[in-house]
Structure 1
Amino acid sequence: MTLPYAIMIFITLQRISELIIAQSNTKALLARGAVEFGRSHYPVMVLMHASWLAVLWAMVGGAPVNMALLAVFAVLQAMRVWVLATLGRRWTTRIIVPKDEAPISSGPFRIMRHPNYFVVICEIAVVPLMFGLVWVAALYSVLNAAMLWVRIRAENAAYSPA
């Protein structure tokens, strides 16, 4: 197995496991009375991320791997783990607002308001660039920026006092 495919297997398995965890957390949060926001844009976000993965799978082949960007990717994974560990059972891929609970303000949330989005922004660019796929990094960075414009507005509105 080549390094590009090993990286893609890692990313794919990571995303699948995150979806399983997110689904479990979402069910638990909703059962406790939490409310979902931004439901209408969620399928578009999933399609964008799935197509990013599909394009990468189709394009990486025997591409050389930029080892400096692989190191950046490794740091991003550590940041991702920090975000998920900080959010714990509140982490989900949807915008789920628990009843009577303030937004998390510890861990990476002390440093920035949306650290998971920062990680995703970086990954969407770094992973394709690691394989020399500049056009994939550019295209999906633009698509992700548009998605995050919608998503962050929905999330900020969901947590704003009524």
Structure 2
Amino acid sequence: MLLFFGFVMCAVVLQRLVELLVAVRNARFIRSKGGYEVGASHYKYIVLLHLLFFLSLIFEVVSKSSAMVLPSWWAVPFSLFLIAQGLRYWCIRCLGKRWNTRIFILPGVAPIKRGPYRFIRHPNYLVVSLEVLLLPLTFSAVTTALTFSLLNAWLLLRIRIPLEEASVYAGHRES
């Protein structure tokens, strides 16, 4: 089990690092077109939440590794996690150079309404929420799944989504 867990964690961490590089490249592009960032002050909390999530997941799985067996139902959350990855890349593809881990406003450009954005306004946040729940459940890390699902929901629902709604959809400028 630990070998599989290590492989999955390395793949997910590598995925996140590549996405950060894409986000930096896309931020340069958006700024070159007159775009600007909103909500930069809360971004450090998002980074901290995700860092603590990974550390908690690793700690919980390794500390329970004496069983060294995946739960019998591991394939269900892991399959759903993989499906969420497909949705993640659908979001990234649809947003193109406008995709970012931060909130950027490109004046005069309407929000994307194609792909998953036809059905839900924030599909990427749905993906993150699913990942925070499903990845730990794959490895029986229930405490991490519940704790970080609640923290993520609070951060998204109380801070991130309202700020994005006010900035992107209502055209308000906030720093």
Tell me if TM exceeds 0.5.
Answer: yes
RMSD after superposition? 1.3
What aligned pairs does 1:11-160 form with structure 2 within 5 A after superposition? 11-61=12-62, 62=65, 64=70, 66-149=74-157, 150-159=159-168, 160=170
SS at match of 1:36: strand
Q: CA deviation at 1:36?
A: 0.8
| Structure of greater Rg | 2
CA contact (8 A) 1:5 1:60 kept: no
User: Does 1:161 find its partner at 2:171?
Assistant: yes
User: Which digits, 9 at most, give the CA deviation of each residue in 1:32-87, with x for residues without a partner?
Assistant: 11021111110001100111112222232345261121111110111111000000
SS at match of 2:151: helix
Q: Distance in 2 between matches of 1:115 and 1:15?
A: 17
Query: Which aligned runs of 4 or more in structure 1 are off by greater than 3 angstroms?
Result: none
Q: Which runs of 5+ in 1 are unaligned?
A: none
User: Which digits, 9 at most, give the CA deviation of each residue in 1:132-152, with x for residues without a partner?
Assistant: 011111100111011102000
Identity level (%): 36
CA contact (8 A) 1:80 1:119 kept: yes
Q: Which runs of 5+ in 2 are unaligned?
A: none
Paired letter, 2:22:
I
Paired letter, 2:167:
A
Q: Distance in 2 between matches of 1:21 and 1:34?
A: 16
User: Which digits, 9 at most, give the CA deviation of each residue in 1:7-34, with x for residues without a partner?
Assistant: 1011100111111100110111112110
Q: CA deviation at 1:161?
A: 3.5
User: Which digits, 9 at most, give the CA deviation of each residue in 1:76-104, with x for residues without a partner?
Assistant: 11111100000010000000011210000
Paired letter, 1:158:
S
Paired letter, 1:102:
A
Q: Distance in 2 between matches of 1:60 and 1:22?
A: 30
The number of residue pairs the alignment matches comes to 162
